[in-house]
Amino acid sequence: MKQVLLVEDDERLSSLISQYLTEHDFIVHRLASGENLLQHVQTSPPDILLLDVMLPGENGFTLCNKIRPFYPGPLLFMTAKNDDFDQIFGLEIGADDYIIKPVEPRVLLARINALLRRNRDPVSSSHSLQKLQYGQLIIDRSTRSAYIKGKDVQLTSHEFDMLWRLAESPSTLVDRTTLYRDVIGREYDGLDRSADVRISRLRKKLHDNSQHPYRIKTIWGKGFFFVADAWDD
């Protein structure tokens, strides 16, 4: 049974979510604030973390920044703000997905299962390669780790999946539909910017030029392009 850590200060909503997920074979641990969140994820890391944005004390964005170095697993924000800025900001600082309140339990369950599926079954490959190397970049699928110039790159589970999916098809356009299906776990609706935000995070961590990227390029209106010979410096 999968372990869910739910951080939500609304007791009624927290109870409803917990009951629904329990009925669908999850074990749910609940916190009403982020006061003990870091300790919890370090001592008993959950399979997935559901984190409310508006919490007493430190908000969800601040807490996400604090725990990401210690918790690479799937993290889903729950937010009452139907605002693109908040959603994109949440993805930029390390969330894997977000859902707008009021939460529809069936939608939440579908999002959770999609994230867990991606975590359990990392990006599939048509070959048995476990390690890719391009110049100073090494990506090891067996340990789900990446190194550049010998230094460990701290990636979340879903960032690693995105990088592997692009790097296993070097110098080839990977279209958005494929990325959403293979990595994010849902169909691309033409508006969702989750992939762009994750690519932006990858560029920062891999020392790409954010204004004029030369390692992971965006082909506007089509998809993304991993440049195989851009990792020597």
- Domain borders along the chain are 2-120, 131-226
Q: How many CB atoms lie within 10 A of CB 102?
A: 8
* Domain 2-120 and domain 131-226 have a common topology: no
Confidence class of residue 198 from pLDDT cuts 50, 70 and 90?
confident
Q: How many CB atoms lie within 10 A of CB 70?
A: 11
Q: How is the chain split among helix, strand and coil, in percent rounded to 5?
A: 35, 20, 40
The encoded tokens of residue 41 equal 């994820």
The pLDDT value recorded for residue 214 is 93
The encoded tokens of residue 151 equal 């230094």
Mean pLDDT for the stretch of residues 127-139: 85
Confidence class of residue 126 from pLDDT cuts 50, 70 and 90?
very low
Distances (CA, A) of 67 to 5, 22, 27, 74, 159: 13, 25, 21, 12, 16
What CATH number is given for 2-120 in this structure? 3.40.50.2300
pTM, rounded to two decimals? 0.66
Q: Work out the mean pLDDT of the chain and round it to a whole number.
A: 88
pLDDT in tens, 41-87: 999 999 999 999 999 999 999 999 999 888 988 999 998 876 666 77
- CATH number (1.10.10.10, 3.40.80.10, 2.10.109.10, 3.30.565.10) of 131-226 reads 1.10.10.10
